[in-house]
Structures are given as C-alpha cells and as structure tokens.
C-alpha cells in the first residue's frame, strides 16, 4: 500500500544522484504540481531535500527520528511483512487494531504502528505505557496454517528478531549488551526495553487458527528514566538512555520486519525452534545460572539450561528434577532482581 509520497521518498532515498521532476512524474504517473507538493510536504516534515533547477531533487538527509506512514513504507524491502501498513499518531492499542484487521480480512503480514497508545496492553491484563515520540509500538497480523499448539513459539521468533534488529541499530555502541529474558522480554544492560503480547483468535469451530497478532512495545528514544512511571522505573530503560543514540524508529521497524520474515521462514521449515534455538540461546539471559520460577501453583528455584525445541525453558530444580517450564502464566526471575 505505497502512497505517492512513500514512493517518491523511497526513490529519493535510493538514488545517489539527483532525480528530475520529469522522472518522478513519469515513474508515478503524476503531475509536476503533485510532485512539487509532495516535496514541500516532506521538507515541512524535516527532510532536507535539495532542489536544483535543471537537475532535480536530492535527499540530503531525513529527520533523525520520524514515525509516519511514508517513512515506514518507503523503507520496507520485505516480501510480505509490512506490505500493508496502518500508521496512527494516536490509537488505543495496536494489538486491538490488528485484531480488527484480522476480522476485516487484511492480509497476512499487515502491520499496525502507532506513535502513542492510550490503552496499550501488557501481559497478564496489565497496561503498557507508550509515550509520544519515544516508543515503537507495533503489531503484526499473521494468518498461519499451522496448528494452534505451535502458536506460542511465534513470540520467541519475534523476540529473537527484535533482539537481532536492536543489535544492528546499536552496532558499535560500547557496552550495549542485548539479551532476551525468557520467553520474550528484550533486555539491554539488564533492564527491560521491550515487551511482547501475542493474541490468538480461533475459527468458530475452534479447531484452527483464524489469525494471530504479535505486538511489541520498544522503549527507543526516552531520554531519561523520569519518563517512565515509578512502577517500572527500576526495571525499564530505553535504547537512548543506555547508549546516548537517537534511533530512527522506522529504521528499527524495517530491520525487525526483515529479521522476522527470515526467522519465520526458518520456523515454518520444522514448525519448531530447532533451527533457531542456537541464535535464540546466544541471546538468552542467565543460561547456567540460578532462576526463580514464579509458578502460580508454587514458586521454586533451579538452574536454567536454556530452551528446548518447543521454546520451553529447561530448569533443573534443587532436588535434581528436570522441569520444562511453559511460558503461559509463569514468570522467571534471576535470584536477585528482574533478570
Ligand atoms: C508486556 O507486558 O511485557 C507486554 C507488553 C506489550 C506491549 C505492546 S505495545 C504494541 C502492542 N499493543 C499493545 O496494546 N500491546 C503490545
């Protein structure tokens, strides 16, 4: 669903030389005035575009961080993830929006992105804060053909994809260690930067998946801990707080979707995590260390041995018993704090 604006922006971004007004008109079948209007809109949004008469337009640089329909769409090079994008400046919850897309027939891979969520949902019925200009909150709609019992692994596939993309945008940032806290929190320097919420809707016969939505909320450009509510201040952080870098959220999304498309294809080959386990495990926090498993039927302490092919956490209890911990209602902590 490329808009003219996104098309023009993509062409300018990918050209090293000037692009003439005529080239833009011919390519997109629009008038010179239409091109001129789009260029002006882009300039107003903070894109530095040089126009030289007789040569055309050249994108010098874009804003450091901008989240908009055209910025997102103009960057995408994926095959199916994000080939349809709904961007909102403000929404309630991108998961709820994506579920509506699921009901209304939008295609596999549709992505909903928002700058602000005023009713963001966290796990276990909690809320999720998404403040303007700082976070990346998005949800992808999937229409898989696999059996419902495989669905819980998709969150781990997304967790790996986010961790890999975060590493890419933070490349070269000293001391930035990105890990995954099982099953799907992304942690930077031992504090949480991202949470995920996956929701599945079954067909009316309840035997097949109708659609799954996988939502992720990433603290990207929050400048200080004061921006977080007191409740989460001890355990949360942002990419900017940890590294000083201002990240382009659309670029981060582009990288996540590329990684997700790739990791999802690997998952589909075996319908388990056998081929992704090594990569996931290389990011997994606390393997070989003691963990506290907060199981509603009784808390216990054990040593984490990483995940099995189904994404369950293998924990060896103090009495030597080996347990496979299934994510569901269970939380796992380090012995002395959040990780
Ligand atoms: C958690 O509790 O750790 C999960 C948080 C999930 C938040 C994301 S933000 C995008 C998507 N939309 C929502 O309403 N929730 C998820």
pLDDT of 4 higher than 90: no
Residues 301-339: tens digit of each pLDDT: 999 999 999 999 999 998 999 999 987 767 788 776 777
Alpha carbon of 119 to ligand 1 centroid (Å): 10
| pLDDT score recorded for residue 130 | 86
pLDDT tens readout for residues 187-213: 999 999 999 999 999 998 888 999 999
pLDDT of residue 41: 95
- Does the pLDDT of residue 126 top 70, yes or no? yes
Ligand 1 atom at shortest distance from the alpha carbon of 123: 2
| pLDDT tens per residue across span 216-253 | 999 999 999 999 999 899 999 999 999 999 999 999 99
What is the best residue among 135, 139, 217, 231 to mutate for testing ligand 1's pocket, by most ligand atoms within 8 Å of CB?
A: 217
Residues whose CB falls within 8 Å of the CB of residue 131, separated by 6 or more in sequence, listed in order: 116, 222, 227
* Probe target for ligand 1 pocket from 90, 113, 117, 181, with the most ligand atoms within 8 Å of CB: 117
Instruction: State the pLDDT at residue 175.
Output: 84
Q: Which protein residues are within 6 Å of ligand 1, measured from CB?
A: 93-95, 117, 120-123, 126, 128, 130, 137, 139, 195-197, 215-217
pLDDT tens, residue by residue, 85-115: 999 999 999 999 999 999 999 999 999 999 9
């Amino acid at each position: 669903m490329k808009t003219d604006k996104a098309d023009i922006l993509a062409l300018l971004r990918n050209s090293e030389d000037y692009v003439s007004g005529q080239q833009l008109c011919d390519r997109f079948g629009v008038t010179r005035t239409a091109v001129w209007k789009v260029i002006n809109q882009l300039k107003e949004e903070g894109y530095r575009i040089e126009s030289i008469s007789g040569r055309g337009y050249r994108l010098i640089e874009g804003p450091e961080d901008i989240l908009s329909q055209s910025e997102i769409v103009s960057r995408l090079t994926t095959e199916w993830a994000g080939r349809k994008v709904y961007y909102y400046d403000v929404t309630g919850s991108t998961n709820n929006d994506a579920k509506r897309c699921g009901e209304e027939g939008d295609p596999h891979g549709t992505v909903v992105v928002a700058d602000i969520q005023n009713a963001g949902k966290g796990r276990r019925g909690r809320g999720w804060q998404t403040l303007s200009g700082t976070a990346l909150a998005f949800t992808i709609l999937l229409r898989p053909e696999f059996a419902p019992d495989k669905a819980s692994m998709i969150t781990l596939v997304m967790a790996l994809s986010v961790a890999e993309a975060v590493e890419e945008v933070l490349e070269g940032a000293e001391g930035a260690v990105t890990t995954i806290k099982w099953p799907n929190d992304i942690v930077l320097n031992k504090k949480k930067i991202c949470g995920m919420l996956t929701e599945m809707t079954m067909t009316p016969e309840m035997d097949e998946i109708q659609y799954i939505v996988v939502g992720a909320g990433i603290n990207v450009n929050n400048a200080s801990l004061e921006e977080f509510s007191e409740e989460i201040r001890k355990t949360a952080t942002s990419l900017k707080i940890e590294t000083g870098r201002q990240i382009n959220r659309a670029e981060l999304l582009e990288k996540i979707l590329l990684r997700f498309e790739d990791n999802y294809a690997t998952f589909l080959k075996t319908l388990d995590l056998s081929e992704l386990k090594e990569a996931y495990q290389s990011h997994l926090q606390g393997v070989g260390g003691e963990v506290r498993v907060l199981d509603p039927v009784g808390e216990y302490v054990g040593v984490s041995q990483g995940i099995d092919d189904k994404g369950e956490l293998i924990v060896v209890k103090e009495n030597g018993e080996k347990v496979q911990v299934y994510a569901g209602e269970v939380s796992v902590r380090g012995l002395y704090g959040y990780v």
